[in-house]
Every structure is written in structure tokens, then in C-alpha cells.
Structure 1
Amino acid sequence: MKKTIFLLLLAQLAFGQRYKPKPVIGLLGAFGAEVALVKESLKKPKAVMVDGVTFTCGRLGKQRVVLAETGIGKVNAAMTTTLLLSRFRPQKVLFTGIAGGTNPDLQPGDIVIARQTAHHDYGSITDKNTPTRQTRNAITKEFNPVFFPADSTLLHLAETVVSNVSFEGIPLASGGVSNRPVKVTTGTVVTGDVFVASPTKVSSLRADFGADATEMEGAAVAQVCYQIQVPHLIIRSLSDRADAEAHIAYDKFYPMAARNSAKVVIAIVKAL
């Protein structure tokens, strides 16, 4: 009897070792164009449907990756991130996409690698509670930090590889291509379920959060990864300056900005 139990335990151990999931990197983007370049770069892509969301598995360089489009907004981003983590168990998660610039030193086409992210539309609005911008972790019941920190290793790697990325030139109003190089900086990205196109709101985000860029998904992805303890990094390429002309600039710069952001993600994955 003891011998039989021992053999069963050995068999279970061997099975577990044999079928241990292989390391995989999770890659996410809000729009189709934000993931298209990455998807085109995959070797042996294979689509996997999970609860209606299409994930594409494949290889990028030497890394196994799984890629998905989250859709716009925090709920869609959180849902897709949760499905990714639950189904594929990635070791790391990278998010690529566009954003509105709130740092006056940055222009459309520049890139912000998020050192930290925060929800700019979350907080107490009654006088009965102590005002807070902190979300609460549903797992630990404790408050999360206001700013979700990026994984330091991924952040350092991103800062290292961008110098070797060949970015697309920035279109001029009169056509042609600007000789101004794309500026890449690390900074603070804030997230809310609103497309910001207001100089007043930009000033507020800059004053309240020190924001360099604003978008609609990053902090949701960061919060899920933070609570599940999976390293993450958010990369944003500016499509506009989140001002009164944001919609006009967005239409013009979005395709180029999305592709440049994706190039950073590809470079990071290949350098891992």
C-alpha cells in the first residue's frame, strides 16, 4: 500500500513538472491599431478565445507572448487583464497605446513610459468620509497606493532599449516629416473614463497629480496587476495635448503614435 502511494506521488510530481506552464509575457493595447504592429511581428500566431475576448499567442524574439485588445475604458481594460492573468498566467504585462499629453514640455508623437499610474477620476465626494483618491484592494481589504508603481526592472529595461528604437517622424501641419526626434521620458500617467480635451482639466491633472499624460486604461491594468502581484509597465505615445484641439490632433497623430508605442513594446520583449 505504501509503495503504491509513493509511486502515485512520484507520478503526480512528474506530471506536474512535465506540464508546468511555460513562461509567457502578456501584451495589451486598447485599440486595434495599437496591437496591430505587435501582432504582425508574432511568429506562429494562434488565436484563443476566452469568454468572447480574442487572445493571440505566438513568439516575439525568443519570448512566448499572448496579445489582446482590451477595448476602451477602465472596465474593459480591467476585464481583459483579469482574463489574461487567469487564463495564461503571464510573468509580466506590458500595455501599449496612445494618450493625451499634459506635460507642456511634450508634444504629440513623444512617448511617456509610466513610472507610476493613478486614477484621476476616483475619490470621495461626500463630506462624511475622509477624502481619498486611494482604491481599495478587494483581496486584502487594504487601501491601494494612489500611484501604482511600474516594475523597476521593466522600467529600467525600457529606458535602455528606447535609444535603439527607430521611431517614425512626426508629421508637420504642412505635410512632410519633422526632423525633431521623438522625445521619450519616464513620468506619471493618469487614467479616467473620459477623453480629456480641456486646457482647464489639463492644468488640474498637472497640479493635482503631476501628470505627464492622461488616458483611459492604464491605471486599471496597473491596479489589477498590482493586486495579483504581477510586474507591469504602461507605455504611452502622445496623440494630442488633451486641449481644445485634441480631437483634431488625435485624428492626425494617432496612427503614428500607436505604431511608435508598439515599437517600444516589441523592443522591450526582444530584450528580455
Structure 2
Amino acid sequence: MKIGIIVAMGKELDLLLPHIEGHSQTVLPSGQTLHTGTMAGGRHSVAAMQSGIGKVNAALGTAALVDAFGPELVINTGVAGGTGSDARVMDVVVGDRVAYHDVWCGPCAERGQIQGMPRFFEGAPAVLGLEVLDSISRLHRGLIASGDQFVDNAADLAKITALYPDVKAVDMESAAMAHTCHIKGVPFASIRVVSDTPGKEEDNTGQYLDFWTDAPKATFATLQTIVNAL
């Protein structure tokens, strides 16, 4: 299978690249760097890219990845904020759906929905249906909501949970990546590790920074397990 893997930040890419066998890189005409190789003992051809933070960067990076590599599946991985549900710091959330939390197009569409697009973008069945997910400790399937905002306080989080009571994690890219894949006709999956819990800790930003000591390795180990099972 040809799998595209996209992350937002350089430190996430640094954790991903050691999992890619025979790694080489190409600079695209757009200036973005495509990292190619294999995973799962050579069974899967992969291409990885760092998009940059936020929805516009996420959409542009995903479009460039799909156009340059032609993947059969796109996987996004990285970190996300927890929402106070059962997903705690260091837990992994696999998005069975992703949605925007900061979109309002007026009465022609529901909040969170861009007119003409689904309100929820469904996760890739090939990933969500894997039996191995049930054997991974502290893994949750659920809704991931995205917006151009680092959610760092209880008041902002409450607005999101009022819109989506069942949301498990919040980030700044997954919905834009899923939206792009929906348009391109490519299945998409988001796999995020919870880095912090907005409103649950007095110093949410400090919690997020402390998390980076070595905790993100969990999500990339989970990614490797999932790719091996595909």
C-alpha cells in the first residue's frame, strides 16, 4: 500500500523519520520536502511531510503530499489537547470522525460545517477496522475537533464541548487534512497523542511543554503498530 504520513511540526517529523526504512528526500517545486521510503519491512511505500501548524498549512501540505505521491491512504499523527473525557495525557486518540470547531457559515449550514461539505469527515475504515487497535493500551476511538487556536483554558474548551459533547481531543490541523483528502478522494486517518488537558491543570502550557520531554514517542510507536497491521 502507498501511505502518506503528514505531521504539523518539525519535532514530530524528527520522531517519525526513524520509523521510515531507506529514507530519502525530495524538495518539491512548492518548496516542501517529501520524505520517502518504506515501512512494515518493505510492505508499504510511504511518503512523509511536515505541513506546518494550522489549517491553511495543513491543507496545503496534504494537497502537495497527495499530488506528489498519490497515496491510497493518508495518516496524520502528532499531538492534541485532551477534553476532559476518558482520554488522558499520554493516551492515543484515533479519530473515527474529525470536524472543525471554529467554522460558522451562517444558517445555511450547521456550526462546524463548511457549506457543501459534510460536518463530520469519517476516519478511514481500513484503519478503524483493525483488530490490533483493541490490543493497544490507552487507545480511544472518537471525535477530534480542529481550529486555528491553541486551546489553553476551560472557557474555550467549554465552547467546543458545547458544540461537540462527545469530542475526545482538539488540535489545529486534522479537520483541514481530512477536508482536503475528502476533496481528493483519499481515505484519511488521524492518530493523536494527548499532550495536555486544557482547564484541568493550572499551567496547561507548562504541561504541554513538559510533555515533549519524551512522551510523544508513544504516538509514533502506535503509528508503527497500525502500519504494520495494514
TM-score normalised to structure 2 length:
0.90
SS in 2 for 1:85: helix
Instruction: Please state which structure has a larger fraction of its residues in strand.
Output: 2
Q: Taking every aligned residue pair, what percent have the same amino acid on both sides?
A: 31
Which structure has the greater CA radius of gyration? Answer: 1
The corresponding residue for 1:151 is: 124
Q: 2:196 aligns with which of 240, 253, 266?
A: 240
Alignment deviations for residues 216-265 of structure 1 (CA, whole Å, 9 cap, x no partner): 00000000111111011001101000225220110111344422111121
Q: Which structure 2 residues correspond to residues 251-270 of structure 1 after superposition, within 5 A?
A: 251-270=209-228
Q: How far apart, CA to CA, are the structure 2 residues paired with 1:131 and 1:38?
A: 37
Paired residue for 1:34?
12
Asked if the contact 1:35–1:96 (Cα under 8 Å) also holds between the matched residues in 2, the reply is: no
Gap runs ≥5 in structure 1: 1-22, 137-142, 165-181
Q: Shift in Å at residue 47 of structure 1?
A: 0.4
Deviation at 1:131, TM superposition (A): 5.3
- Structure 2 residue 161 is matched with structure 1 residue 206: yes
Letter in 1 for 2:226: I
The answer on 1:188 being equivalent to 2:188 is no
Q: Which has the higher helix share?
A: 1
- Give the corresponding residue for 2:22: 44
**Per-residue deviation, 1:117:** 0.5
CA distance in 2, matches of 1:242, 1:98: 13
RMSD: 1.7
What is the Cα deviation at residue 55 of structure 1?
Answer: 0.9
Matched, 1:124 2:105: yes
Alignment pair present for 1:95 and 2:76: yes
Whole-angstrom CA distance in 1 between matches of 2:223 and 2:134: 10
| C-alpha distance after superposition, 1:175-195 (max 9, x if no partner) | xxxxxxx52110110000000
Structure 2: how far apart are the matches of 1:68 and 1:196?
Answer: 25
CA drift of 1:33 comes to 2.3
Match of 2:132 in 1: 160
Instruction: For 2:197 and 2:57, locate their aligned partners in 1 and report how far apart those are by CA, in whole Å.
Output: 24
Q: Distance in 2 between matches of 1:131 and 1:229?
A: 22
User: How many Å separate the matches in 1 of 2:117 and 2:168?
Assistant: 21
What's the CA shift for 1:104?
A: 3.3
Give the secondary-structure state (helix, strand or coil) at the position aligned to 1:236.
Answer: strand
Structure 1 residue 162 displacement after superposition: 6.3
Deviations 1:36-58 (A, max 9, x none): 23211222111011111111000
Select between 88-97 and 242-251 the one with higher mean Cα deviation.
242-251
